[in-house]
C-alpha cells in the first residue's frame, strides 16, 4: 500500500487493506489515525515521488553514517575531544572518497555511452551514477515503447531530476542529444 | 685443622689487600668453606687491580661474611675496559646486570670536569613511608637496603670512562630473569615514538605491544607500560585545557565552522554544532536532500550525537554537520537547524527535501524552520512500528505482515 505509485492505486490498496484488517478493528484504527491520516503525504510513494528526493525514502544513509562514525570511535566512553578527533579522521577519508568520485565522473566516459547521440552532450558533465539512471530509463523506453504520459509515470523526473521515459522516447525518435539544462543541476 | 688453614688463607688475603681487618677475621665464624674463600680472594685481588679508586672504607666486613641470601656479583663487573662515553658505560653495566639478574639505577651523576656516575642496585635504600594515603592497600616496596654500588669516572686526557666497584655484594638473592622489574621493560625514546604514532592512528594497545616486540626481539615491555605511555601522551596533548577548551581549540586550529550555545544562566555549554569548511562547500552545492537522525553511545556524557547527511551527485553520502546536544527537544533541534541555514550562501537553493524518522519534535521543527521543504518519513521506521503494533493488537504474527507488504 505504501508503495502504491499513484493516488488511484493507493485508494484501491487502502480498501483492500481495510478489508483484510476488518477482523482487527483496534489495529486498523491505529494505522488510520496515527499513520495514514497525518503522514500520508510524507510516506506513501504516490506523494513522496512528487518531490526531488534523489532516492532517499528511508533514513538508511544517516544510519549508515552513524555506523561509520561509531566504527571510528570504537568506544562509547570517549570524551568530546577524542570524539571530535575521530570524526575529523573520518571526514578526511570521506572527503577524499567524494573528491575521487567527482574526478572519475569527470574523466571517465563509459564505453556504452560512446558514439550515442543521446548522451553526446553529457559526457564529463554528469556523474556516472546519474548517467546510469538515464541508461536504465532508456532501456525501459526501448522495451515498453511508451509514448503517452500515462504509462511512463515520470517518476524519475520528479524524484531524481533526470529526464523521464517519454521524454527520452521523443528524443530517440528525433535522434537528438539530451541537453544539460534539461537535467537538474544536482 | 680445617679451621686453621682457613684462618691462614684469610690472613694471606689481608696481607695482600693491605687493609686493616684483623678484627673481622677474628670475628669470622669458622663454618665457612675454603672454596668460597678462594673465590673471594681471586675476585678481590682482581678488583684491586682493576679499580684505582677503591676506597678502603667502602670495603667493609660484608665482603667477608657472605650470608645465605647474599650474592657476590663482582666477576660480572671486574674489567679493565674503558668506554668512550657515559651512555656506553651505562649500557654495558646494564647488560651485565641483566646477566647477573638484577637491575641498576643511577644514584648520582655529575657532568663537567669531574664527571662521574654512581650506579646502585634497584633494591638499595629504604622504603620511605609517604605522607599521603596510598591508593592501593596491597602496595609494597622493593627496597631492602642493598649496598651494591659501582662508580664510573673519567680518567686521563682522552676522556675515557672507567668503572670502579665500590661494593659488589647484594644482600638479597638475584633472579634468573629480570622481566617485570622497575626498568626492565622501559620504553626507549624511539619506542615511545612508535607508541605515539600508533596511538594517533587508533591502534589498540595489544597491537602496539606486538609491534614493539617485533621490532626488538629482546624487548621485555609489558602491556601496562604501553597503557601508561598512551595515557601520558594523551594527557600531554590536552595540557592544562579543560575538555571543552581543548575541543574548541582543536576546532579553531583546523579551521572548522562551529557554533556553541550556552545555557541562559550558567556558563555550561548546551549544544555544540560543527562542520568542516569543505563540507560547507559541498553543502552549498548539494543542498537538495538532507537526512537527519541522532545516535547515542558515542561519548561518556551520554549526549546524543546529531548527524545531518546529504547526497552528492555521485550518489555518495556526505556529512553536512555534527552536533552534540543536551537532549532531543524541539528547542535543540531548532537551534541546530538555524545554525545549519547560516552555512548556506544567500544565493544557493534551500534544502528541498528532509528525511527524518517518525520523531514528532523533529518533524515539527523541520516544518517550522524549513517551511518550503517537504518532509519525508522513513517508511522503514514506520513499518517497524506497524509491525510491532500488529503483534500486540492482533496476536497474529505472520499473515497480516505479509499482506501489509
Read off the pLDDT of residues A126-170 as tens digits, 9 standing for 90 and up: 667 777 777 776 776 666 555 544 444 455 555 555 555 555 555
B202 and A61 within 8 Å at the Cβ level: the answer is: no
Please give the residue of chain B at the shortest CA–CA distance from A159: B353
A42, A77, A82, A185, best to mutate vs chain B, most B CBs in 10 Å:
A42
Question: Which residues on chain A are in Cβ contact (under 8 Å) with B322?
Answer: 87
A1 and B405 within 8 Å at the Cβ level: the answer is: yes
SS3 content of chain A, % helix, strand, coil (to 5): 65, 0, 35
Q: From CA B253, how far away is CA B113, in angstroms rounded?
A: 47
Per-residue pLDDT of chain B (405 residues; tens, 9 = 90+): 444 444 444 444 444 444 444 344 444 444 444 444 444 444 444 444 444 344 444 444 444 556 677 888 888 888 888 888 888 888 888 888 888 888 888 888 888 777 888 988 888 888 888 888 877 778 788 888 888 888 888 887 677 888 888 888 888 888 877 777 767 778 888 889 999 999 888 888 999 999 998 988 878 888 888 999 999 998 898 888 888 888 888 888 888 888 888 877 777 778 888 888 888 888 887 777 888 888 888 888 888 888 888 887 777 888 888 888 888 888 888 888 888 888 887 766 677 778 887 777 888 888 888 777 777 777 777 777 777 777 776 655 444 444 444
Between CA A181 and CA A185, with CA A182 as vertex, the angle to 5 degrees is 60
User: What average pLDDT score do residues A3-15 get?
Assistant: 74
- Residue-wise DSSP of B373-400: SEEEE-HHHHHHHHHHHHHHHH---SHH
- Give the H/E segment covering residue B330: helix B330-343
Backbone angles phi, psi at A128, to 5 degrees: -65, -30
Residue B208 burial by CB count (10 A; 0-12/13-18/19+): exposed, middle or buried? Answer: buried
A43 and B317 within 8 Å at the Cβ level: the answer is: no
Position A34 scores a pLDDT of 73
List the single residue in A59, A64, A83 with the smallest CB-CB distance to B357. A59
Q: From CA B152, how far away is CA B348, in angstroms rounded?
A: 76
List the single residue in A52, A76, A94 with the smallest CB-CB distance to B298. A76
Q: From CA B27, how far away is CA B238, in angstroms rounded?
A: 63
| Beta bridge pairs of residue B324 | B272, B305
List the single residue in A30, A48, A74 with the smallest CB-CB distance to B393. A30
CB B163 within 8 A of CB B89: yes
Backbone angles phi, psi at B371, to 5 degrees: -65, -30
Three-state SS at A170: helix
Reported ipTM exceeds the 0.90 cut = no
List the single residue in A77, A80, A130 with the smallest CB-CB distance to B313. A130
Q: From CA A87, how far away is CA B324, in angstroms rounded?
A: 12
Position B229 scores a pLDDT of 92
Question: Which residues on chain A are in Cβ contact (under 8 Å) with B291?
Answer: 56, 59, 61-62
pLDDT digit string (tens) for A23-57? 777 777 777 777 777 777 677 766 766 666 666 77
Taking the Cβ of residue B389 and every Cβ of chain A, the question of whether any pair is shorter than 8 Å is answered with: yes
Q: Is the pLDDT of residue A182 over 70?
A: no
List the single residue in A70, A81, A161 with the smallest CB-CB distance to B243. A81
Between CA B289 and CA B295, with CA B290 as vertex, the angle to 5 degrees is 150
A73 and B313 within 8 Å at the Cβ level: the answer is: no
| DSSP state letter for B326 | S
Length of chain B: 405
Question: Which residues on chain A are in Cβ contact (under 8 Å) with B403?
Answer: 17, 20
Question: Which residues on chain A are in Cβ contact (under 8 Å) with B401?
Answer: none
Residues 200-239 of B with CB under 8 A from A: 202, 238
Position B57 scores a pLDDT of 40
Taking the Cβ of residue B288 and every Cβ of chain A, the question of whether any pair is shorter than 8 Å is answered with: yes
Closest CA relative to residue A126, chosen from A182, A55, A170, A71: A182
B394 and A54 within 8 Å at the Cβ level: the answer is: no
Question: Which residues on chain A are in Cβ contact (under 8 Å) with B386?
Answer: 31, 35
Q: From CA A93, how far away is CA B201, in angstroms rounded?
A: 13
Closest CA relative to residue B170, chosen from B151, B195, B144, B198: B144
pLDDT digit string (tens) for A71-129? 888 777 878 888 888 888 888 888 888 888 888 877 777 777 766 666 666 655 666 77
Position B353 scores a pLDDT of 79
How far B185 CA lies from chain A's nearest CA (Å)? Answer: 28
Question: Which residues on chain B are in Cβ contact (under 8 Å) with A62?
Answer: 291-293, 307-309, 355
Question: Which residues on chain A are in Cβ contact (under 8 Å) with B309?
Answer: 61-62, 65
A65 and B309 within 8 Å at the Cβ level: the answer is: yes
A56 and B316 within 8 Å at the Cβ level: the answer is: no
CB A48 within 8 A of CB A42: yes
Taking the Cβ of residue B360 and every Cβ of chain A, the question of whether any pair is shorter than 8 Å is answered with: no
Write down the residue that cell numbers 518531490 correspond to: A51
A79 and B243 within 8 Å at the Cβ level: the answer is: yes
Question: Which residues on chain A are in Cβ contact (under 8 Å) with B396?
Answer: 24
Amino acid at each position: 500500500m505504501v508503495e502504491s505509485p499513484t493516488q488511484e492505486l493507493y485508494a484501491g490498496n487502502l480498501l483492500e487493506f481495510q478489508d483484510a484488517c476488518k477482523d482487527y478493528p483496534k489495529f486498523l484504527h491505529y494505522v488510520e489515525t496515527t499513520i495514514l491520516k497525518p503522514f500520508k503525504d510524507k510516506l506513501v510513494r504516490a506523494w513522496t515521488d512528487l518531490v526531488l528526493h534523489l532516492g532517499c525514502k528511508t533514513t538508511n544513509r544517516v544510519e549508515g553514517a552513524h555506523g561509520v562514525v561509531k566504527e571510528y570511535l570504537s568506544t562509547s566512553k570517549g570524551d568530546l575531544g577524542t570524539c571530535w578527533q575521530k570524526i575529523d579522521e573520518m571526514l578526511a577519508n570521506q572527503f577524499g572518497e567524494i573528491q575521487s568520485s567527482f574526478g572519475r565522473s569527470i574523466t571517465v566516459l563509459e564505453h556504452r555511452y560512446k558514439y550515442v547521440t543521446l548522451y553526446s552532450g553529457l559526457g564529463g558533465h554528469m556523474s556516472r551514477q546519474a548517467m546510469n539512471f538515464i541508461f536504465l530509463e532508456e532501456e525501459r523506453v526501448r522495451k515498453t515503447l511508451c509514448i503517452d504520459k500515462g504509462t511512463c509515470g515520470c517518476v524519475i523526473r520528479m524524484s531524481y531530476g533526470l529526464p523521464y521515459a517519454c521524454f527520452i522516447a521523443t528524443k530517440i525518435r528525433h535522434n537528438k542529444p539530451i541537453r544539460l539544462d534539461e537535467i537538474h543541476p544536482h | 685443622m680445617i679451621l686453621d688453614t682457613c684462618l691462614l688463607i684469610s690472613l694471606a688475603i689481608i696481607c695482600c689487600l693491605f687493609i686493616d681487618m684483623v678484627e673481622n677475621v677474628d670475628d669470622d665464624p669458622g663454618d665457612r668453606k675454603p672454596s668460597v674463600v678462594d673465590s673471594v680472594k681471586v675476585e678481590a685481588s682482581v678488583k684491586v687491580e682493576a679499580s684505582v679508586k677503591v676506597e678502603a672504607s667502602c670495603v667493609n666486613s660484608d665482603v667477608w661474611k657472605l650470608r645465605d641470601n647474599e650474592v657476590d656479583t663482582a666477576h660480572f663487573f671486574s674489567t679493565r675496559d674503558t668506554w668512550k662515553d657515559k651512555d656506553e658505560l651505562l649500557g654495558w653495566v646494564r647488560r651485565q646486570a641483566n646477566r647477573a639478574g638484577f637491575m641498576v639505577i643511577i644514584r648520582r651523576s655529575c657532568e663537567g670536569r669531574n664527571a662521574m656516575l654512581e650506579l646502585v642496585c634497584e633494591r638499595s635504600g629504604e622504603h620511605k613511608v609517604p605522607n599521603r594515603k596510598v591508593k592501593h592497600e596491597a602496595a609494597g616496596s622493593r627496597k631492602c637496603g642493598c649496598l651494591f654500588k659501582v662508580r664510573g669516572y673519567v680518567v686521563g686526557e682522552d676522556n675515557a670512562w672507567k668503572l670502579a666497584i665500590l661494593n659488589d655484594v647484594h644482600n638479597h638473592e638475584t633472579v634468573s630473569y629480570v622481566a617485570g622489574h622497575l626498568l626492565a621493560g622501559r620504553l626507549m625514546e624511539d619506542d615511545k615514538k612508535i607508541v605515539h604514532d600508533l596511538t594517533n592512528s587508533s591502534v589498540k594497545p595489544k597491537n602496539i605491544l606486538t609491534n614493539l616486540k617485533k621490532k626488538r626481539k629482546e624487548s621485555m615491555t609489558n602491556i601496562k607500560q604501553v597503557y601508561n605511555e598512551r595515557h601520558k601522551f594523551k594527557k600531554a596533548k590536552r595540557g592544562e585545557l579543560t575538555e571543552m577548551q581543548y575541543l574548541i581549540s582543536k576546532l579553531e586550529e583546523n579551521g572548522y565552522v562551529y557554533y556553541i550555545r550556552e545555557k541562559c544562566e550558567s556558563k555550561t555549554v548546551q549544544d555544540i554544532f560543527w562542520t568542516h569548511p569543505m563540507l560547507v562547500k559541498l553543502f552549498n552545492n548539494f543542498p537538495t536532500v538532507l537526512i537527519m537522525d541522532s545516535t547515542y553511545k558515542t561519548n561518556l556524557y551520554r549526549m546524543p550525537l546529531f548527524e545531518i547527511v546529504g547526497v552528492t551527485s555521485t550518489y555518495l553520502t556526505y556529512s553536512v554537520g555534527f552536533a552534540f546536544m543536551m537532549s532531543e527537544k524541539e528547542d535543540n533541534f531548532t537551534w541546530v537547524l538555524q545554525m545549519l541555514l547560516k552555512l548556506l550562501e544567500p544565493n544557493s537553493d534551500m534544502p528541498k527535501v528532509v528525511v527524518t524518522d517518525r520523531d514528532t519534535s523533529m518533524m515539527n521543527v523541520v516544518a517550522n524552520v524549513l517551511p518550503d521543504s517537504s518532509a519525508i518519513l522513513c517508511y522503514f521506521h514506520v513499518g517497524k512500528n506497524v509491525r510491532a503494533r500488529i503483534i500486540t493488537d492482533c496476536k497474529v504474527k505472520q499473515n497480516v505482515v505479509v499482506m501489509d507488504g
